[in-house]
């Protein structure tokens, strides 16, 4: 008797971004209003997104194929920001911290800290807003360090650092007191001599875990130093730092288009008189996505030319976010004024896209410098 072989089809493993999209629906969407209005920090979602692989897609050292995929990292951030850009911002903070460690000059710091951050077991933020403004001659570095046995002692205050909690970490750039340059290192919020201070209430992004960070003779061990040669590190990380932010803007624009299409079902007869229609924004969004994913293939290029292209795209992303959120608000009409309405939340979030470092004015200043170089 011949046996009949039966082929049992196995369900395909969902992609990282399919898993993230599912988590957005199940773990984030029910809490979006609480994130926005009550300052709820979505810790459970952030951990689970990391377990799904959201924070390692752009990291060659953390991927099985050894190849970074910035497009996938950005798509994951888009899926989050489409629902809640406050949480999308937290995803960017986590991605950026991982990106710094991926490019660390100090292999000990990378090997010690990156695996847990890339997998979402540990969470953290990026404290480089001050440093980015410093390098653009906008403000001085706010933290100083001095050398001691086995590490460094830090003093000073960073006014706003996001995606933080008492058990989180973040990266910052410090001025050396001896005048010998700058240092970049990871800080743990539980380390001695360090404390978090709650910021004033924000009009948006209230659930982003944003605090003022105070250092008072706070010790940073050598194994947490990312680089003691910051001028060589910054060109390697700057393009990725800025390009990853496109995930916030692209996702927000898609969320605005969703609102416009939903309102068309009941108010299309009058909304057709508005200047910006979903189809117009969809075309602009597709162009921005294509440009973003293409530049994602080149982020290891540390040239000024590539960085200028990234800044120009980021500038356009800010303008598109502002345009889309205003259009969504006008399409929603009076419904958009409800306290829990997505339209007014998207409008407030879009201004953050335009002012988070690098802000529109910062980008224009930097582009002027690069053009003159």
pLDDT given for residue 11 in this prediction:
61
- Helix %, strand %, coil % of the chain (to 5): 55, 15, 30
Q: Which CATH class is domain 232-372?
A: mainly alpha
User: What is the number of other CB atoms lying within 10 angstroms of the CB of residue 6?
Assistant: 5
- CATH T-level assignment (fold) for domain 16-123: Butyryl-Coa Dehydrogenase, subunit A; domain 1 (1.10.540)
Residue 7 has pLDDT above 50, yes or no: no
CA–chain centroid gap for 314, Å, is 13
Average pLDDT (341-356) is 97
> In the prediction, which pLDDT does 9 show?
55
Does the structure show a pLDDT above 80 at 188?
A: yes
- Residue 222 half-sphere exposure, CB side, CA atoms within 13 Å? 5
Distances (CA, A) of 98 to 150, 274, 326, 357: 24, 42, 33, 18
C-beta of residue 226 within 8 angstroms of C-beta of residue 233: yes
Give percent of the chain above pLDDT 70: 97
Rg (CA), the chain: 21
Q: Which pLDDT score, from 0 to 100, does residue 10 have?
A: 57
Q: Is the dihedral of CA 92, 94, 95, 97 positive or negative?
A: positive
Answer yes or no: is pLDDT of 2 > 50.
no
| Residue 169: φ, ψ to 5° | -135, 170
Per-residue confidence (pLDDT) for residue 199, from 0 to 100: 82
Beta 124-126 vs 169-176: how paired, if at all? parallel
Res. 8: pLDDT tops 70: no
Q: Among 6-15, 87-96, 194-203, which is the least confidently predicted range?
A: 6-15
CA dist 246 and 238 (Å) reads 14
Which residues have C-beta within 8 Å of that of residue 202, sequence separation ≥ 6?
210
Section 85-95 average pLDDT: 98
- State both tokens at 366: 């930097």
Amino acid 373: pLDDT: 75
Q: Answer whether residue 5 shows pLDDT above 50.
A: no
Give bridge partners of residue 170 from the DSSP assignment.
125, 187
Neighbours of 323 (CB within 10 A): 18
What is the phi-psi region of residue 111: left when phi exceeds 0, alpha when psi lies from -120 to 50, beta otherwise? alpha
13 pLDDT tier (thresholds 50, 70, 90): confident
CA distance 111 to 89: 25
Residue 197: how many CB atoms within 10 A of its CB? Answer: 10
Please report which confidence band the pLDDT of residue 166 belongs to, taking 50, 70 and 90 as the band edges. very high
Fold designation for 125-229: Butyryl-CoA Dehydrogenase, subunit A; domain 2 (2.40.110)
Question: Measured between alpha carbons, how far is 6 from 20 in angstroms, rounded to an integer?
Answer: 33
* 4 band by pLDDT with thresholds 50, 70 and 90: very low
**For residue 6, is pLDDT > 90?**
no
Which is more confident, 9 or 180?
Answer: 180
Check: CB of residue 321 under 8 Å from CB of residue 249: yes
Share of the chain above pLDDT 90, in %: 93
pLDDT of residue 201: 81
Query: In this predicted structure, what is the pLDDT of residue 113?
Result: 98
CA 79/CA 18 separation, integer angstroms: 9
CB 71 within 8 A of CB 13: no
Kindly report which listed range (1-15, 155-169, 259-273) carries the lowest average pLDDT score: 1-15
Give pLDDT tens digits for 107-155: 999 999 999 999 999 999 999 999 999 999 999 999 999 999 999 999 9
Give the mean pLDDT of 202-213.
90
Displacement of CA 354 from its chain's centroid (Å): 13
Using CA atoms, how far residue 358 sits from 128, 133, 193, 210, 327, in Å, is 10, 8, 30, 17, 24
Which residues pair with residue 73 across a beta bridge? none
* Coil/strand/helix, residue 363: helix
pTM, to two decimals: 0.95
Cβ atoms 33, 340 nearer than 8 A: yes
Domain boundaries, the chain: 16-123, 125-229, 232-372
Q: Which positions ≥6 away from 74 have C-beta within 8 Å?
A: 243, 244, 246, 247, 250, 292, 293, 296
pLDDT value at residue 3:
46
pLDDT, averaged across the chain: 95
Q: How many helices (H) and strands (E) does the chain have?
A: 13, 8
Residues 276-309 pLDDT 10s: 999 999 999 999 999 999 999 999 999 999 999 9
What pLDDT sits at residue 204?
Answer: 79
- Give the count of alpha carbons within 13 A of 7, CB side only: 1
Q: Is the Cβ–Cβ distance between 327 and 276 less than 8 Å?
A: yes
Q: Work out the average pLDDT over 298-325.
A: 98
The whole-number average pLDDT for the span 161-188 is 97
Please give the backbone phi and psi of residue 182, each rounded to the nearest 5 degrees, phi first. Answer: -130, 160
Quick check: 84 pLDDT over 60? yes
Q: Give the mean pLDDT of 78-98.
A: 98
């Amino acid at each position: 008797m011949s046996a009949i072989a039966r082929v049992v089809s196995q369900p395909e493993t969902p992609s990282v971004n399919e898993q993230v999209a599912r988590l957005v629906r199940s773990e984030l969407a029910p809490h979006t209003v609480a994130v926005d209005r009550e300052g709820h920090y979505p810790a459970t979602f952030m951990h689970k997104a990391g377990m799904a692989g959201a924070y390692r897609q752009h990291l060659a050292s953390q991927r099985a194929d050894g190849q970074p995929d910035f497009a996938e990292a950005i798509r994951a951030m888009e899926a989050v920001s489409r629902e809640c850009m406050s949480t999308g911002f937290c995803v960017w903070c986590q991605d950026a911290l991982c990106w710094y460690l991926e490019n660390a000059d100090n292999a000990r710091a990378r090997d010690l800290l990156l695996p847990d951050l890339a997998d979402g077991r540990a969470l953290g933020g990026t404290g480089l807003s001050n440093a980015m403004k410093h390098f653009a001659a906008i403000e001085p570095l706010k933290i100083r360090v001095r050398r001691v046995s086995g590490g460094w002692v830090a003093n000073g205050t960073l006014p706003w650092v996001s995606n933080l909690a008492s058990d989180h970490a973040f990266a910052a750039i410090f001025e050396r007191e001896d005048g010998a340059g700058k240092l970049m290192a990871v800080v743990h919020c539980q380390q001695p001599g360090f404390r978090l201070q709650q910021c004033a209430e924000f009009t948006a992004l209230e659930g982003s875990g944003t605090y003022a960070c105070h250092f008072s003779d706070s010790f940073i061990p050598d194994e947490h130093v990312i680089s003691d040669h910051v001028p060589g590190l910054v060109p390697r990380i700057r393009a990725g730092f800025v390009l990853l932010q496109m995930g916030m803007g692209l996702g927000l624009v898609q969320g605005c288009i969703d609102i416009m299409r939903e309102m068309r079902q009941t108010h299309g007869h009058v909304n057709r008189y508005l200047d910006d229609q979903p189809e117009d924004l969809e075309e602009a969004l597709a162009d921005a996505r294509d440009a973003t994913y293409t530049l994602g293939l080149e982020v290891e290029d540390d040239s000024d030319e590539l960085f200028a292209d990234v800044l120009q795209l980021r500038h356009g992303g800010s303008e598109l976010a502002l345009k889309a959120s205003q259009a969504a608000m006008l399409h929603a009409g009076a419904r958009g004024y409800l306290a829990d309405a997505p339209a007014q939340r998207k409008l407030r979030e879009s201004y953050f896209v335009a002012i988070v470092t690098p802000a529109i004015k910062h980008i224009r200043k930097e582009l002027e410098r690069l053009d003159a170089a």
